Amino acid sequence: MDRIQLSDALEMSRLVYGMWRLSEDDNTSPDHVRNKIAACLDQGISTMDQADIYGGYEAEEVLGNALTPELRNRIEIVTKCDIVAPAGRYSDARVKYYDTSRAHIVTSVEHSLRLMKIEHIDLLLIHRPDPLMDHQETGAALDEVVASGKVRAVGVSNFRRADWELLQSAMQAPLVTNQIEMSLLCHAPFTNGDLAFLQKEGIAPMAWSPLGGGALFEAQNAGLREKLAAIGAEHGVDDAAVAIAWLLAHPARILPVLGTNNLDRIARIGDAARVGMDRQTWFELYTEALGHEVP
């Protein structure tokens, strides 16, 4: 499995295991969670993607209950903060909102460290752009958690270029990634400047929902799925692996985040790395996703 250097302090596996559904599994026992991580590690997938809000603020604790010191040393943990929803420890919130204040960021880091029973977070992301963000306060808070050693590196999720530049302007530590939605069904970042900006800056982006939240395999996308299946048959992999390979083929060094609780599917995540994709094949899939040929 290829690895991507995001900063001097952080290297991640090219494919990332997404844990947003971890606490929703029928079996959340430590042994079962360890089996999922082991299935990832067997393929060279060492990066685990979390967020404080996942599972109604419960998924981090499910992971923490499974971690041993040896296992912790073999993985990189990504988590996120700033979404406050009326659930879990925020059940008294009157409305869902974003909080990028220093107090919230510092408290969120402490919660995440405690719930996951770890001494540091490898990568902390601001989960959503906050229209009330005081970039000086937020930037200083992110610098603070990095300087403290509690966080190795920081980044963002779902930010546009202006949001990124505003926050980075108030920081000493570099923002090392932007986790954005990208897939054959969500391909706007390839042409709206989001991916181009990151590529220009040498920032490897992460891609959430790289299979379109499952919509890629619904009836209305039958034509695209047929093409994916045909390509997959040539390489001995399934259509999902080809859809991920489409992202991997881009020179921006995209890191897809894939989440499933099914052990058999987890064991096949790495198949995407086996699919070579030339330019015409990439555009065949892109054309099908667009519904028309490129101009």
Please give the positions annotated as active site: 54
Closest CA to 178 of 187, 162, 288: 162
HSE-CB for 72 with a 13 A CA cutoff: 15
Question: Can you list the alpha helix ranges (DSSP code H) found in the chain?
Answer: 30-41, 54-57, 59-66, 69-72, 102-116, 135-147, 161-168, 194-201, 222-235, 239-248, 263-266, 279-290
Residue among 207, 193, 124 nearest 158 (CA): 207
Alpha helix (H) residue ranges in 42-134: 54-57, 59-66, 69-72, 102-116
CA distance 3 to 114: 28
39 Cα distance to chain centroid: 18
Amino acid at 162: A
CB 186: neighbour CB atoms within 10 A? 19
The contacts of residue 18 (CB under 8 Å, 6+ apart) are 49, 208, 257, 258, 259
Whole-number Cα distances in Å, 278 to 21, 231, 235, 282: 33, 11, 13, 6
Task: Please tell me the distance from the alpha carbon of residue 141 to that of residue 104, in angstroms, as a whole number.
Answer: 9
